[in-house]
Chains A and B, each alone.
Chain A
Amino acid sequence: MSDITVREKNKKISQAKRVTLIINGEQRNLEIGHLPHQVETTHTLLHTLRETLGLTGTKLTCDNGACGSCTVLMDGKAILSCMTLTVECGGKDITTIEGLKDRDTGALDPLQQSFIDHTAFQCGFCTPGIIMSAKALLNENSTPTEVQVKEALSGNFCRCISHYQVVRAVMAVSEGGA
C-alpha cells in the first residue's frame, strides 16, 4: 500500500478541462474555466442548468438540500441539483422538467398534464421538483400505492399545501390509479 502511495505521490492528478454530459437527450460538452460561457469547478448542476444553459424550469429555493425544488433526474433517479457539482456529472444522463415533453410533438408528459387537470399547485414554484420526484417513482414503479407516492415525494416541500392535489394527480397516472 505505502509503496503505491509513494509512487503515486509524484504522479499528481490534474483537473479536468471539460465535462460531457447528456441533458434532456442532448449531449453537452462544457468547458471548465472562469469565462462566462464556461463552468467553474464550484458550480452546482442547478447553477449550470439555470445560468449557463438557460434551463430555468429547475428552481432554486433553499440551495442547501432541504426543500426539493431543484430535483432533477440523474440516470433516472431523483437527485438534488443544488448539492451536485457539474464537474462531477461527466457521462451522466440528466433530465429536467423541460425534458419531459415529447421531443417530436412537444406534447406534455401525461404526468404534467395530470398536474394541470388536478390543479396540483398554487404558486407553482415547487411543482417542477415535485413532478421530477414523481417521475422518478413512476419510472421504477408504474403502479405505486398512495403510501409509496407520499414516501417518494417526502423530500419535496410545498408551502401552499398543494400536497392533496399532488397525490391525486400522481395516483391518476399510476396504471392502477383512479
Chain B
Amino acid sequence: MRSFSHLNARTVSEAIAALVQFDGRARLNAGGTELFGALKDEFLPEYPEAVINIKSIKGLEYIKEEKGHLRIGALTKLSVLSESRLLRERYGALAEAAHAVAGPQIRNVATIGGNLCQDVRCCYYRYPRHIGGPINCARKGNGPCLAVNGDNRNHAIFAGRKCFAVCPSDTAVALALYDAQLVVVGPQGERQIAVRDFYTPIENLLQRTEIVREILIPAVTGTVTQSFSKFALRTPIDFAIVSVASLITLEDGICTDARIVLGAVAHNPHRALEAEEFLRGCRLDVEVSRQAGEFAIREAKPLSKNAFKIQIAKTLVSRAIFGQPAGFVLKGNFSETTSSTQMCSGKH
C-alpha cells in the first residue's frame, strides 16, 4: 500500500477532529476488510493521506435493548451479531444477515458500521490500478456507467440511474426491514438517517467528516415470522446476487402485515411494496406466495445480462413468505437450525 499517516482515535470526537483536520482526505478504519482492499487496488481517484483507526474508541461495541428500541454500537462485530441470543430470538433476519457476510475470519473483525458504509463491488469501478486500471465511470464522476453496455450480471434490476452498481451490504437489507436508523455524528453534531434512504445511486449519505456511531432499530413486536436468505455462488467470498429479508405478521393464519426487502437488486435495499400490499389480508399458501413473488419483481427493468436475477428474486420472495428452506441459499449455522432460512417467531 502507498504510504499514509496513521492515527488511533480514542473517542468519537477525536475521530471527527482528525477527519476535519485532514479535510476529508482521511479514511476511517474499523475492521479494515473493505478499506485495505480498496487501498491495495488503488481504484479510487484519491488516495487518503491518513487512516484513522476507530477500533481504539471504547464503548462502541454493544447490543442494548431500551425504550422500544434496540441499539447496536457501530463497532459491533458481525460475528457477535450473528451469535447474539437476543438477535437470534427477536431479530433473526439481522442475525442471519450478519452471518451471511463473507467467511468466519472476516466476520471476526468486520463491524456493522463498516458493513453498512462499504463501497460497491462493481467490476469496472473496482478495477485495480496494478493490472491496467483504474477505470473512470459515472460513480467516479467521470464518464458513463460502463455496466450498461458491458458486463452487468451483478448490477441493478430496479430503478437504475447514473450508476447501476448495487448496495453490497447484507445487514442493510435486514436493517431496512426493521426501519432502522443510523445515528451519524459530525462536526455539526448528531443526525439520524434511515438505512433505507442512506444509499443514493452514486454514494452513501455519510459526509467525509462524519462517523456512524450507532444503529437504532424500533422494537419488533407482535407475533412475527422473519427471514433472511441470500443467493450467492461461493458463499464465503461472494457478495449477494439477490437477497431477501421478510417480516410477516400473522393472525390466525391471515397475514395482517408484511414487509419484504430485496438486496443486491438496486442501489439501496429495495422494498417490495406491491407484494406487501398484496399479502395484507391473505391466507398464506403456496399460490399466494408465488403471486407475491410475481408482485415483488413487477417493476423490475433488467439490463442486458441480468434478467436471471428476476427469477432468483421471485423464488426467494415466495420461499421467504411460505417459509420453505431455500435450496441454494446460504446455509445458516445456528447450531439448532439446519434449514437455510432462519425462521423465528416470538411474542412480547
Residues of A near any B CB (own CB < 8 A):
1-2, 4-5, 8-9, 11-16, 32, 40-42, 44, 63-66, 68, 71, 77-80, 82-85, 87-88, 90, 133, 136, 147-148, 151-152, 154-156
Contact of A79 among B2, B3, B17, B109 (CB under 8 A): B109
How many chain B residues touch the partner (CB < 8 A)? 49
With A42-B4, A65-B106 as known contacts, state yes or no: A5 contacts B21, CB within 8 Å: no
With both chains docked as a complex, state the minimum distance between the C-beta of B53 and any C-beta of chain A, in angstroms: 5
**Which residues of chain B from 50 to 75 have any CB-CB distance to chain A below 8 Å in the complex?**
51, 53, 55-56
The verdict on A5 contacting B104 (CB below 8 Å), with A42-B3, A65-B37 known, is: no
Please name the residue on chain A nearest to B190 by beta carbon: A1
Among B181-189, B296-304, B319-327, the one that faces the other chain is B181-189
Task: Kindly name the residue among B1, B13, B41 whose own CB sees the greatest number of chain A CB atoms within 10 A.
Answer: B13
Partner of A12, one of B21, B108, B188, B190: B21
Query: B102 within 8 Å of A by Cβ?
Result: yes
The distance in angstroms between the C-alpha atoms of A44 and B338, with both chains bound, is: 37
B160 CB to nearest chain A CB (Å): 28
User: What are the residues of chain A within 8 A of B236 when measuring CB–CB?
Assistant: 154-155
Interface residues of B (CB under 8 A from A): 1-10, 13-14, 16-18, 20-21, 29, 31-33, 36-37, 40-41, 51, 53, 55-56, 79, 102-106, 108-109, 185, 187-190, 235-237, 331, 333, 335, 338
Bound-state CA distance A82–B41 (Å) is 13
Contacts of B190 in A (CB 8 A): 1
Q: How far is the CA of A12 from the CA of B237 in the complex (A)?
A: 38
Whether A84 contacts B109 by the Cβ 8 Å rule is: yes
Contact, CB under 8 Å: B6 / A16: yes
Of B13, B33, B37, B104, most buried by chain A (CB within 10 Å of CB) is: B104
